[in-house]
Each structure stands twice: as C-alpha cells, then as structure tokens.
C-alpha cells in the first residue's frame, strides 16, 4: 500500500521515506513519507493561500463540509481501524472506537456556533465582540489515539475559519494520511494539509513563521519544547499534556460492581491514555477485598496482538515507551515493592508488557510520582479524607481525577477539592465535544472541546460604534 501526504489538495509521495513498525512484532512493515523542509513550506503556503476564502465562506457551508468529512471517515471506518491496529497496536474494537470517535467529534463540533456578544447597547454607543480565525494552525497529534485526538483539533480549527497543517506522530502516521486522502474529496485545496515525518518535522513546524497557532497534544516534556519554539514569533498555543490521574475509592462502593470499571480506568489502551487512572487510593476498610477483586479480574483479561480476535489489551506503541515502562518496573523491583500481578518481562515479540499491579508502594515511589503511560497500576491505602486529598493533589500534574462512591453529594464535594481540569464521579475518561477539557499545572495550557475549545482557535475583535459625536467641552 502506498501512503501519500496531502498538500494543497493533491497527493505528495515525498522525496524521502521513513520506516513504520508494527508494535505487535517490533518489525518494519511499511514506509511513510518523511516530509522535507521544502514540502513543509509548500503545505504552509497552501494553507495561507486558502485561508482568506475559507474564512469568507459562510459558517453554515463550512459546517456542511465538516459533516461530509465525518461521513467519509465513518464510511471507511472498518478499513481505517484495521490499518490503525497495525501501526498503533490497539485491539480492533478500540481502533474502531478511535476512528468512529473522530467522525463523531467532527459531526458534533459542527453543531457549535461562534458567539456574537453585545456588551453595550445604549442610545449613544454599541459594543460588539466577534470571534475571528487566527490563520494557519499547526495540529500536532500523539500516537496513543491518532484519529480522535486529531479531530479534537481539525474540527474547531476549520469551523472557526482557520486552515491547518496536520502532523501525526512519527510512529502512527498511516491512518491519518489515509484520512488526508478523504479530505481531498471534501475541502477546497489547501484547507486541510496532512504531512508526516520523523522527529525532525515537529520542530520545523512549530517554529515556522507561516504558522499562527500551534495545537499540541503529547508529553509535558515535549510541550515545553513546543512552547519555547512558538515563543519566537508569539504564536498562540494550546497544549494538552501529561497527567498522573488519581482515583479515590470510598468505602461505600459495591466492590463487585466497581472492580472491572476501576481496572479499565487504568488499563484501557494498555494504560496509554493521558487521562487513565495512574494512582488508585482505596479506603482501608475495603482495600483488601477490592484489591483481590481487581487482581482476579486482571487475570481474565487477554493481552496480545490487537489484530487477533479476543485481544483486550495490545502492546505498547513504540520501543521508547516500552523501555520506559520496563525501567519503572525494574525500579519497583529494586526497591522491594510488592507485585500483586505482573512485573515480569514478556517473552513475546513486540512491545508487550504484562498487566502489572503493585500493592501499596510508598508515595515517594517513581511508579506513584511519574506518569507511567503503560499497563502498571499502584494501589494504595488511605484512611483520612484530608490526607488522601493532599496526596492526590501533591503532583505537578492536574489533568484528570476520579471519585468512586455511592454518596453522590459527598463525591461532588470531594471533586471540588481535587486539583484537576476534569473530575469524574463513578466513571473515568468520558469526554464530550460539548464540554471543555484541559489541564491544570503542568498538564497543559488552554482547553479542547465545547465552546471554550472552539474559541481557542479565534481572536476576539470588539467594535465600538458611537451613534453621535461626544459633546465638546
């Protein structure tokens, strides 16, 4: 299969290529275009040339094209999902959710409208604030959810009247490139350009003078570099970064009902979710029975190649993340922490890490303090609510958190005290295109989703109209 970039509405095979690895085997299975500086310049110039006409198009027409794009993605859902599994590793069902979730995000975002705000309307003056597009947006997307997270950016950026250069992660470019082919059939040339490349491409894109805004999802470490790169020309930025989400499980929960939900809050997509539960605090009164229930459920879950029927958890996506997770496991072993399940190295080819659960490691442990982004979960006891809230909030991250309790009023009170951009009660990881999603502290700048997310892709312009001259002295 041949993969091409989309630049100015046309297929570009690329002057250079780079290898793509199947994480279930660790072997190269194809190549993708490695965008050169000249090809990037062409993509940005195309976006610049198309922006004025795209902005001038009535928003209703832009909505219709976004809806048509969503429909084409949905029509190709099965083929796109199979391709996504081969490059990302996730099971087919999860890959379908990623692809179809992207189509859904496009369609729902198209229901939003840019507000017109009148702050003064008197006999002498009217003040009207409108929201205009920024220009050309660079969208940089991570490898864990390549499609839906791309649409987090594409949908509001295009709806607001911007054009875009979209760059998938170097390890998962293929499905996004195929979606770029679908975009050629829908949008005017230059409105949505899709480029792929190795590690060199991201810095070129974020520093480019032709980019007016950068929307980035990825690690906090890389987010800092993006911010530095954008600072030279004062580009606007949205950064959705890492997390170390805490779950607080109160003693009144039904253990049988919540055990599986708690497991998947941590281990979905092999733990490679920025809003996955990464620290689980369980009240001492139910710690032992709930611990046992989670471990027993874990033993029923099939880990394997995402392309194989019945697989529930696939491999880690790339060798770099694989080695980091193994390093954290080894650190836990070196410190004598107790493993309830897992901890061993998989003998299978590819980047597989067995489900690993630790029993009450200290708060100072690396596995507690760091974002593991893999199938590892520390379970920890708590007794006092104030104490556990202090522990949960004592993190440089503030992306998400969850509270599990049958006492909804109390759970809502706890949620208000958690330092996170999103808090779930009796669930985890639910996001909506109609609600703002963003991080506190080192977890990001700005938001995605909802009206607030749409406005991230605009500049406010206020016009004051005076109906008659001011009186002279």
433 or 232: which leads in pLDDT: 433
Residues 329 and 221 in one domain: no
Q: What is the pLDDT of residue 347?
A: 87
For 125, half-sphere exposure in the C-beta direction (CA atoms, 13 angstrom radius) is 10
CATH number of the domain to which 129 belongs: 3.40.605.10
For residue 117, indicate whether it is catalytic.
Answer: no
For residue 35, indicate whether it is catalytic.
Answer: no
Distances (CA, A) of 408 to 110, 185, 385, 414: 33, 48, 15, 10
Residues 152 and 267 in one domain: no
Residues 372 and 452 in one domain: no
In a domain, residue 57? The reply is yes
Residues 124 and 259 in one domain: no
Total Cβ atoms within 10 A of residue 114: 17
Residues 62 and 209 in one domain: yes
Residues 72 and 221 in one domain: yes
In a domain, residue 194? The reply is yes
471 or 186: which leads in pLDDT: 186
Question: Do 201 and 40 form a contact (C-beta atoms < 8 A)?
Answer: yes
Q: Which domain holds residue 382?
A: 245-425
In a domain, residue 308? The reply is yes
In a domain, residue 130? The reply is yes
Annotated catalytic residue, options 39, 87, 240, 456 = 240
Residues 155 and 279 in one domain: no
pLDDT at 235 over 80: yes
Q: How confident is the model at residue 348 (pLDDT cuts 50, 70, 90)?
A: confident
Q: What is the pLDDT of residues 27-86, one digit of tens each?
A: 999 999 999 999 999 999 999 999 999 999 999 999 999 999 999 999 999 999 999 999
Mean pLDDT of 176-186: 98
Structurally, how many domains does the chain consist of? 2
In a domain, residue 100? The reply is yes
Residues 115 and 232 in one domain: yes
CA–CA dist 274, 141 (Å, integer): 13
Residues 114 and 167 in one domain: yes
CATH number of the domain to which 269 belongs: 3.40.309.10
In a domain, residue 42? The reply is yes
Summary mean pLDDT of the chain: 97
Annotated catalytic residue, options 35, 39, 87, 274 = 274
């Amino acid at each position: 299969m041949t993969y091409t970039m989309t630049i100015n509405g046309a297929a570009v095979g690329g002057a250079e290529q780079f290898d793509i690895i199947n994480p279930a085997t660790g072997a190269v299975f194809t190549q993708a275009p490695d965008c050169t500086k000249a090809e990037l310049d062409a993509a940005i110039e195309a976006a610049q040339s198309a922006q004025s006409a795209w902005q001038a198009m009535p928003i209703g027409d832009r909505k219709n094209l976004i809806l048509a794009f969503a429909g084409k993605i949905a029509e190709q859902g099965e083929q796109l999902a199979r391709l996504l599994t081969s490059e990302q590793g996730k099971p087919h069902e999860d890959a379908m959710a990623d692809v179809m979730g992207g189509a859904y995000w496009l369609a729902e975002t198209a229901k939003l409208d840019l507000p017109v705000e009148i702050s003064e309307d008197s006999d002498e003056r009217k003040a009207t604030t409108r929201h205009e597009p920024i220009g050309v947006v660079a969208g940089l997307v991570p490898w864990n959810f390549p499609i839906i997270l791309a649409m987090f950016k594409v949908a509001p950026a295009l709806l607001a009247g911007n054009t875009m250069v979209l760059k998938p992660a170097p390890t998962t470019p293929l499905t996004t490139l195929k979606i770029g082919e679908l975009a050629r059939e829908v949008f005017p040339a230059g409105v949505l350009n899709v480029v792929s490349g190795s590690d060199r491409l991201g810095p070129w894109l974020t520093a480019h003078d032709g980019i007016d805004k950068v929307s980035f999802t990825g690690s906090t470490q890389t987010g800092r570099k993006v911010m530095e790169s954008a600072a030279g020309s004062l580009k606007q930025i949205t950064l959705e970064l890492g997390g170390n989400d805490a779950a607080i499980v109160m003693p009144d929960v039904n253990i049988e009902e919540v055990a599986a939900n708690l497991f998947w809050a941590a281990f979905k997509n092999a733990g490679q979710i920025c809003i996955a539960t990464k620290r689980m605090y369980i009240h001492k009164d139910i710690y032992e029975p709930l611990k046992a229930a989670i471990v027993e459920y874990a033993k029923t879950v099939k880990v394997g190649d995402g392309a194989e029927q019945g697989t529930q958890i696939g491999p880690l996506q790339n060798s770099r993340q694989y080695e980091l997770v193994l390093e954290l496991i080894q650190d836990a072993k070196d410190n004598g922490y107790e493993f309830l399940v897992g901890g061993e190295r998989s003998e299978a080819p590819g980047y597989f890490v067995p489900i690993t659960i630790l029993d009450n490691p200290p708060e100072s442990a690396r596995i507690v303090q760091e974002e593991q982004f893999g199938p590892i979960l520390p379970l920890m006891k708590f007794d006092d609510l104030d104490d556990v809230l202090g522990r949960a909030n004592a993190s440089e991250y503030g992306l998400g958190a969850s509270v599990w309790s049958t006492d909804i009023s109390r759970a809502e009170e706890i949620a208000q005290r958690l330092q996170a951009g999103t808090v779930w009660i009796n669930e985890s990881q639910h996001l909506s295109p109609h609600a703002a999603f963003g991080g506190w502290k080192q977890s990001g700048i700005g938001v995605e989703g909802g009206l607030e997310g749409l406005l991230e892709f605009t500049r406010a312009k206020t016009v004051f109209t005076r109906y008659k001259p001011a009186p002279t002295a």
